[in-house]
Amino acid sequence: MPGWSCLVTGAGGFLGQRIIHMLVQEKDLEEIRVLDKVFRPETRKEFFNLKTNTKVSVLEGDILDSQYLRRACQGISVVIHTAAVIDVSGVIPRQTMLDVNLKGTKNLLEACVQASVPVFIFTSTIDVAGPNSYKDIVLDGHEEDQHESTWSDPYPYSKKMAEKAVLAANGCTLRNGGTLHTCALRPMCIYGERSPFLYNTVIRALKNKGIIDAISKFSRANPVYVDNVAWAHILAARGLRDPKKSPSIQGQFYYISDDTPHQSYDDLRYTLSKEWGLRLDSSWSLPLPLLYWLAFLLETVSFLLRPVYNYRPPFNRHLVTVLNSMFAFSYKKAQQDLGYEPCVTWEEAKQKTSEWIGTLVEQHKETMNSKTQ
């Protein structure tokens, strides 16, 4: 395969940064364009200091700016689209999420057509598959099962509709007469160093005498380590660029998991942080059906108050369902079509993530000591 170039959106994010670090090791990759709305200074510095012969171009721009996207896509061979607004608790306005996650994806697809980019890889999410009820049990799900979220909440809805747009665009004619090839990857809940989900968990616990909120004791899931998700994106890019592999991948979606043991999200957070003295809240909690209907009540109150007061419930039915369902998926199809095998074992992932959590604990101690002096 000849020299190629890649644009990665959401490049300053948790997953985007890992994809960049793997991409620079790819043979014949001549240029990476890293795109995000705003880069933190340390992230920008990290990209500039990458030890690689590949040209790294740092682009700051809005995914809603169609003209900017078209310029960013000029001369590009592969687009990896990870940029998204992730929010399952109702903090971010619905329209913002629809604009970025759905309209932004459509803008990028159109930019690829106009700039004749032949390969488009979309970072989707397990949320587009469900779960739709905490009573549903899926412990070895497959792509053929056709699971689909029925939630109208902005995150699962916007990602589901964006994924549909990406897969429907497969086979589109490009401006130069070529053909657009697309696929989508659906990672499980992603963990690892710098995970915003874990960072918030640890900071809250440290402010609460080391006690981790027990919010998902009824769940059984298979979380996936961030490097393994990044690796799946590299393999998808290779596959769609390879004339032999590409036909079986085009227009397909893939669940991306690894060999992390099936467990509750609470157990995962405890396992990764127990070495540093953090522990799960052992106090009594509401039964799951009661918690669900309490969420419904709080959503109703929020709806009724909306004309006069913007009340945001601490949790909603979607969040209760996602965090307390038995919902796990196999990576067998990605293994068959992409040649995907997790590049980091559970033991390695656990050690690396735990060590990072240890740095957060030490930083917290130093901060507290400086305040008392």
Question: Is residue 177 over pLDDT 70?
Answer: yes
Question: Is residue 283 over pLDDT 70?
Answer: yes
pLDDT for the residue numbered 370: 76
Report DSSP state, residue 26.
S
pLDDT for the residue numbered 141: 95
Tokens, residue 212: 């981790």
Q: Lowest-pLDDT range, 2-6, 92-96, 156-160?
A: 2-6
pLDDT in tens, 81-97: 999 999 887 789 999 99
pLDDT in tens, 325-361: 999 999 999 999 999 999 999 999 999 999 999 999 9
Question: Is residue 309 over pLDDT 70?
Answer: yes
pLDDT for the residue numbered 285: 81
Single out the residue of 175, 81, 61 nearest to residue 122, CA to CA. Answer: 81
Question: Half-sphere exposure of residue 245, counting CA atoms within 13 Å on the CB side?
Answer: 18
What distances in angstroms separate CA 155 from CA 91, 158, 201, one per listed residue? 11, 5, 21
Asked if 72 contacts 35 with a C-beta cutoff of 8 angstroms, the reply is yes
Mean pLDDT of the residues in the chain: 94
Question: Is residue 236 over pLDDT 80?
Answer: yes
Mean pLDDT value across residues 237-264: 96
Q: Tell me how far apart the alpha carbons of residues 135 and 148 are, in angstroms, rounded to a whole number.
A: 15
**Domain at 4-196+221-262+329-344, CATH from 3.50.50.60, 3.40.50.720, 3.70.10.10, 3.40.1160.10:** 3.40.50.720
Asked if 54 contacts 29 with a C-beta cutoff of 8 angstroms, the reply is yes
Task: Give the 3-state DSSP-derived string for 144-198, with helices as H, strands as E and coil as C.
Answer: HHCCCCCCCCHHHHHHHHHHHHHHHCCCCECCCCCECEEEEEEECCEECCCCHHH
In the chain, the amino acid numbered 201 is T
Q: Tell me how far apart the alpha carbons of residues 85 and 97 are, in angstroms, rounded to a whole number.
A: 6
Q: Tell me how far apart the alpha carbons of residues 253 and 143 are, in angstroms, rounded to a whole number.
A: 7
Give the other-Cβ count within 10 Å of 88's Cβ: 18
Give the confidence band of 373 by pLDDT, cuts at 50, 70, 90. Answer: low
CA geometry: angle 28, 106, 176, nearest 5 deg: 50
CA geometry: angle 131, 266, 349, nearest 5 deg: 95
Of the candidates 134, 155, 191, 254, the residue annotated as catalytic is: 155
Rg (CA), the chain: 21
Please confirm whether the linkage preceding 223 is cis (ω < 30° from 0): no
In 275-346 the beta strands, taken as DSSP E runs, fall at 279-280, 326-329
CA geometry: angle 199, 203, 208, nearest 5 deg: 145
Q: Is 277 left (phi over 0), alpha (psi -120 to 50) or beta?
A: left
**Domain locations in the chain?**
4-196+221-262+329-344
Asked if 315 contacts 216 with a C-beta cutoff of 8 angstroms, the reply is no
Question: Is residue 206 over pLDDT 80?
Answer: yes
- Give me the residue label for tokens 């656990």: 350
Is 155 a catalytic site residue?
Answer: yes
Q: Is 329 helix (H, G, I), strand (E, B) or coil?
A: strand
